[in-house]
Structure 1
Amino acid sequence: MSRLTGRSTRLRRLTTFALGLTGALVLTACGGAVDKDTDDAPAGKTDAARQGLLTEQAAGEVVDEYERVNNRANAKRDEKLLGTVETGQVHEQSKADYKQWETWSEEDRKSYASAFRYTDREYLIPAADSGVTWFAVKARSSADQDQEEVLLVFDKAGGSYKMTMTVYADEGPLPEIAVDEQGLVTPADPSAKVGTLAPAQLGEHYEDFFETGGKEQATKTFAATGTSKDAVEVHEEGPDDDVERYATEKYFAADPAHPKVYALRLADGKTLALFPTAHTSELMLKPRYMSGFDITPTEEQSLYDAAKRDVVTDEFQGQALGVLDPKGKPRVIAAEYRLVDSR
């Protein structure tokens, strides 16, 4: 993923979400087995050592190939190639980046198309018997001027690993992931509550910050963070100055395009969740102006629907990071959205 840090608008920062693996890799289990026939094997230690879903070497090859293909596709905005190696929420955002390319500045286009690498990688690999089909990577992007940590998820789709989610840690370093004696991480059940919410419930509750400014439920449900405060600001901003007199703007929770949630146990007993989230915004003329006025879509909105209209409905698909505390309120520590449709 190449990341642009210069473009920013209402939590919808431009991020280059792009490509992944073009073919299946041969996966080798990590961790050696204890020889059951060895006389000096400790009592109770005769079972085979737990194996990882794949080795760090194999995971590294996945990420290396991801970089190579990603850089080629971004340079040409090759959506066909993109669709063969990427899926999930990150894919929805990547497609939006490609579609809106023509509206960007020359500087942003150059930055997006520039080659990059993931550095300082830490592979987060579950056990082969954990029941999950994905692994994660903690890293930094050479294209990110702020050098924020990023959490990447690669999941099995169509027989190979594809990028499914990518979220940058906006509020400092990522929390420390729990790792066992064999260097394996422990996935958490997205449907199991950790304190007041389950990881799979975070998105629907978080969107209340946009809908009501958090007044209906979110302020009571979540601990305040910079990310949640930004969402409240979006709710409170209302229409731009040039249309504020004539129109109202409201937000409504929407279904994520891809609902899968990923969760990991943290070293301090909490749970880290990567979750999808989505909402629509509705810019509507006030009734007294509907007969004589229309709203002219912006350049980005016009890519989807250029017609002037009384109501402009925008759809935003997002990805976010949350920390669930068994003894306290959950915190949302990062969220990124993309405009994916306007009608």
Structure 2
Amino acid sequence: MAHSAHSARSARTARATRIGVFTAAVLSVAASLAGCSTAGTAPDRAGAAPAERPLLTKAEANRTVDAYQKANNRANAERSPSLMAKAEDGAVLAMDRAYFTQIPALDKRDVANNLAPFVYVHRTFYIPPASSNADWFLVRAQGAQLTHGKPGKPWSKDIRFLVFKRSGDGWRMVAARDFSGSDLAKAPHVALDGAGLMKIADPGTKIGGTAPSRLPELVADLWVTGGRDTPLADTSARRTGRSWYTERADNLSGHAWVDFKKAAPHTGDVFAAKTADGGALVLSDSAVDETFLAKDLQSYINLGDSDKPFVERDPDAHMYKVVRHYVQTELGIISADGEPAVYSIGTQVTKVDATPTTDI
């Protein structure tokens, strides 16, 4: 997958710079994100005598992450969506496929950095009991560059949580987001049972007044309404998401309308693990559509460079209407009192629909 110092473009939020809309031509560039992975192993809990069988052993989970990194790095090296599908699935795979599509229009140095070989180090595994009927497990790790076959120092102090989900022929990484900066202290302790196995939270069951399954809706609402009346706590990620709403008309010079609407999530997965303090750690995916519409036939829209690879017919034409489809992944916490907070949001354009003025 494309990495921006992490795996699955999932660790960074790329902001699409504004489309230009004028009576004269204006060009803007939409940025993207990337993802990475790294390797390191946390020891099994000493003296733990599991009362029941885990979904998989920690040794098996560790080999799963190793295999993921190998497949991901190979896919990055070959810029291959089909190879990436052997490492990832769900919203993360959709985001990386889209990033590969954009590569011809992106800065070569940024691409090389985003797709550089990586590993996950300092790993800790959270594995549910087989009796839970869960089909996923959680990894806490840090990312590092892979140099001459060996992992270097972690590229930052960021803490990444990754979800691996069972598919027909193995495991795929389906979600990965970070706690970073001043939010590092908010990274929770995952609740374990007496056998050292992860306690899963039912996404649809409320904690206080909020179910974990609400997180995607609350995140999408930041784009659609600016989070008006949102119960989300004030975090850096919330402020960044809201800025897409407050800055949506920048550079349009009054010649076009623009708005965001909630869209059906690419996968709609919500993964929730209970935390030691009675809340839940949540990773999920959401989606929004951004629509630009010229206000009159004398105005038109120019696509940003990184939008053009998605448009097969006349990408350089003057457009009357442009719709950007975004897939998002998010990491948040529902507190024991039911207060939701989002700490990381990844956003990637995955499709662009454009209508030339000549079609009007």
Determine if the TM-score, normalized by the shorter chain, exceeds 0.5.
yes
Secondary structure at the counterpart of residue 200 of structure 1:
helix
- Mark the CA change 1:160 to 1:135 in structure 2 (over 3 Å): closer, same or farther: same
Secondary structure at the counterpart of residue 194 of structure 2:
coil
1:14, 1:330 → 2: CA distance? 25
Q: How many residues align?
A: 313
2:46, 2:167 → 1: CA distance? 25
Residue from 223, 227, 240 that aligns with 1:210:
223
Deviation per CA, 1:251-293, whole angstroms, max 9, x where unpaired?
A: 111111101110000011111111111111112222xxx2112
1:270, 1:111 → 2: CA distance? 36
Q: Give matches, 1:6-17, under 5 Å.
A: 8-9=14-15, 14-16=33-35
Preserved CA contact (<8 Å) 2:2 2:96 = no
Q: Give matches, 1:1-343, under 5 Å.
A: 3-4=3-4, 8-9=14-15, 14-16=33-35, 49-143=51-145, 145-170=155-180, 171-173=183-185, 174-215=187-228, 217-218=229-230, 221-241=231-251, 243-286=252-295, 290-305=296-311, 306=315, 307-343=317-353
2:160, 2:206 → 1: CA distance? 25
TM-score (structure 2 length as normaliser): 0.80
Deviation per CA, 1:132-190, whole angstroms, max 9, x where unpaired?
A: 01111000110473341111111111131111111122332521111233221111111
Deviation per CA, 1:54-104, whole angstroms, max 9, x where unpaired?
A: 111110000011111111110111111122332111111111111111122
Q: Which moved more, 1:129-138 or 1:326-335?
A: 326-335
2:289, 2:213 → 1: CA distance? 20
Deviation per CA, 1:308-339, whole angstroms, max 9, x where unpaired?
A: 32221101101101211242421111111100
- Mark the CA change 1:270 to 1:13 in structure 2 (over 3 Å): closer, same or farther: farther
The offset of 1:131, in angstroms, is 1.4
Aligned-CA RMSD value: 2.6
The sequence identity of aligned pairs, in percent, is 27
AA aligned to 1:167 is: R
The offset of 1:205, in angstroms, is 2.7
1:91, 1:31 → 2: CA distance? 36
Q: Which runs of 5+ in 2 are unaligned?
A: 6-11, 18-30, 39-44, 146-153, 354-360
Preserved CA contact (<8 Å) 1:87 1:162 = yes
AA aligned to 2:271 is: Y
Q: Which moved more, 1:114-123 or 1:141-150?
A: 141-150
Name the residue aligned to 2:42.
none
Q: Name the one with the larger strand percent.
A: 2
1:336, 1:163 → 2: CA distance? 15
Specify which structure has the bigger relative contact order, considering alpha-carbon pairs within 8 angstroms and separated by 6 or more residues. 2
Q: Which runs of 5+ in 1 are unaligned?
A: 20-29, 35-47
The offset of 1:197, in angstroms, is 2.1
Secondary structure at the counterpart of residue 233 of structure 2:
coil
- Mark the CA change 1:88 to 1:108 in structure 2 (over 3 Å): closer, same or farther: same
2:119, 2:108 → 1: CA distance? 22
1:232, 1:89 → 2: CA distance? 21
